[in-house]
Amino acid sequence: MTTSARVTASTPAGATVGDPTRGDAVRRPPRPGPNALTLMDFDTLQAVVDDLAQRLQRSVAVDDTSIRLLASSRHFGEEDELRSHSILNREVADDVVTLIRAMGIADWVEPGWVEDADVGLTRRLCVPVRCHGLLLGYLWLIDWPQHPISGDDVTRAVSAAAHAGALLYRGRLTSERLRNRHESVLRELVSSDEAARAQAVEDLRAEQVFPEQPRPYQVLAVRTSTLADVTTGDPELQIAVQEAVGRTPSESAMAVAGPARAWILLAGSEPWSRHRIDTLGQQIRSRMPGTDLSGPHTTFGLGGVVTELEDLHVSYRQALMAARASDLVPTFAPLARWNELGPYQLLLRMNSSDIAAVASVPALMTLEAADPHGLLMETLECFLDHAGDVRASAAVMCVHRATFYQRLKRIEELSGCDLGSGSDRLMLHLGLKIRTLTAGYRKTRG
């Protein structure tokens, strides 16, 4: 079995820091994830890796199923550029990870060889790490021309992988129990029952999950639309969210993930940056299957920042409405932020039937009928979105101001509205936004 892949990923638990060719590097404690290990289990896994490396006189690495390094030994001179780069940078390029997964190693039950000179990947032995038939990771050996991997080496690697599998399986069970416990508490934290919320805060504080002093919290909601049955949703969403959150420290992100909907509690000493939130969303989207219009469509909504756990339900409801905006209003997709929704903050509090009932604004219907290409409607919305600033609006639409004024005059003639009137502007502006939401509802219902 010969395919293409790579051997190690970032530098989590037990990995080297500094010069990857040295054996006296600093080890890191285990980090959270689907196979989260206790310190004792991590030490045991590291001992398994170090013992095998010593027996074979070659470096050994164990990755999780996401191709992230769990443990690695010192090197014996056979490391390649890809191994060194991944350890030093604590991350591996997504395209390389995609390449590995495309080789089908997730289906292997026996050791196999992987190699790809184009990405600097020298010949490697990949031993799937399994327990009770469940894939938990991969054990890797680099094939060294001066010290080729023998049949006995493969046998020893398989035995070590079995030992590692038992440890990772126990870590997974422990992680799932803890995750289920925390998910239960988090659901209570955003419930409509004030007493339940108070109890959830006490539970989290008692378990020292978060400090007692105020700190920024906000919620990121995740939604997926799919052709799958609504009762089953997309199982991939649950996996994608859990894997992405597993890459972050446990005190900075916790998720409640289901097959069709999920939400993530974001915490830290300061609010998450825009880039960090965008990156988390991209990681989740990249793990969802299919990118064409027929595949799942994943959108996000970000609630506002609160400083007390007791108020998290406020950010949670804002995040849900923002996610709804991301679904319905194309300009917000794929990630809508509550504090950037403008008038939609008010309109999204209405249910779909109420929105549909007020969507028929006579002035806009008349304007639309006389505007088959939608140019006047676009001009009006741009004008209102920019608070009546003709200079800014004309610049956005790339037309001369005189042309823009002519369009505004035509809009007034057709609609019978006075664009200098605040009440007329408000009616038209809300009417345009309501029409956008109505169109979004029609689209989502097919």
Query: pLDDT for 311-325, tens place per residue?
Result: 999 999 999 999 999
Dihedral, CA atoms, 7, 289, 285, 307, nearest 10 degrees?
-100
Task: Give the largest Cα separation in the chain, rounded.
Answer: 88
Percent residues over pLDDT 90 in the chain: 50
Binned at pLDDT 50, 70 and 90, residue 445 comes out as low
Nearest to 323 by CA among 267, 272, 268, 261: 261
- Answer with the residue of higher pLDDT: 275 or 442: 275
The residue written with tokens 């915490």 in the block is 267
191-194, long-range: CB < 8 A, 24+ apart: 191/313, 192/313
pLDDT at 171 over 70: yes
For residues 83 and 79, what is the distance between their CA atoms, to the nearest angstrom?
A: 6
Nearest to 27 by CA among 37, 38, 18, 16: 16
What's the pLDDT tens digit per position in 178-188? 778 888 999 99
The residue written with tokens 């039950």 in the block is 109
What's the pLDDT tens digit per position in 56-78? 999 999 988 888 888 888 888 87
- Answer with the residue of higher pLDDT: 425 or 43: 425
* The pLDDT value given to residue 40: 65
Q: Which CATH class is domain 215-347?
A: alpha beta
Protein fold of 2-173: Beta-Lactamase (3.30.450)
* The pLDDT value given to residue 79: 76
Mean pLDDT throughout 23-29? 41
337-346, long-range: CB < 8 A, 24+ apart: 337/301, 337/302, 338/301, 338/302, 338/303, 338/304, 339/304, 343/429, 343/430, 343/433, 344/433, 344/437, 345/321
* The pLDDT value given to residue 110: 96
Nearest to 265 by CA among 300, 200, 219: 219
Task: Dig out the tokens for 280 from the structure.
Answer: 């988390």
pLDDT at 429 over 70: yes
* The pLDDT value given to residue 292: 46
Q: Which range has the worst mean pLDDT, 26-40, 242-256, 325-339, 360-374?
A: 26-40
For the chain, the straight-line distance linking the first and the last C-alpha, in angstroms and rounded, comes to 46
Task: Dig out the tokens for 334 from the structure.
Answer: 């794929």
For residues 365 and 363, what is the distance between their CA atoms, to the nearest angstrom?
A: 6
- CATH assignment of 352-444, among 1.10.10.2840, 3.90.420.10, 3.40.50.2300, 3.30.930.10: 1.10.10.2840
Binned at pLDDT 50, 70 and 90, residue 208 comes out as confident
Measured N-to-C along each axis, helices 390-397 and 401-415 cross at an angle, to the nearest 10 degrees, of 100
Q: Where in the chain is the domain with CATH 1.10.10.2840?
A: 352-444
Mean pLDDT throughout 273-302? 80
Phi, psi of 216, deg, nearest 5: -75, 130
Q: Where in the chain is the domain with CATH 3.30.450.40?
A: 2-173
pLDDT at 274 over 60: yes
pLDDT at 11 over 50: no
What's the pLDDT tens digit per position in 106-139? 999 999 998 887 777 788 999 999 999 999 999 9
- Answer with the residue of higher pLDDT: 360 or 411: 411
Task: Dig out the tokens for 408 from the structure.
Answer: 């505004």
Nearest to 112 by CA among 79, 72, 154, 80: 154
Give yes or no for a contact between 309 and 208, defined as CB atoms under 8 angstroms apart: no
* The pLDDT value given to residue 400: 96
Mean pLDDT (the chain) is: 83
Mean pLDDT throughout 313-342? 93
For residues 354 and 305, what is the distance between their CA atoms, to the nearest angstrom?
A: 29
- Answer with the residue of higher pLDDT: 19 or 88: 88
Give the 3-state secondary structure of residue 298.
strand
Mean pLDDT throughout 383-396? 95
* Continuous segment of H or E residues that includes residue 436: helix 422-444
C-alpha pair distances (Å), 152 with each of 1, 41, 85, 330:
18, 26, 29, 59
- Answer with the residue of higher pLDDT: 175 or 172: 172
Nearest to 214 by CA among 301, 305, 125: 305
What's the pLDDT tens digit per position in 398-408? 999 999 999 99
pLDDT at 14 over 80: no
Q: Which conformational region is residue 77 in: left (phi greater than 0), alpha (psi within -120 to 50 degrees), or beta?
A: left
Give yes or no for a contact between 160 and 48, defined as CB atoms under 8 angstroms apart: yes
Q: Where in the chain is the domain with CATH 3.30.70.270?
A: 215-347
Give yes or no for a contact between 108 and 155, defined as CB atoms under 8 angstroms apart: no
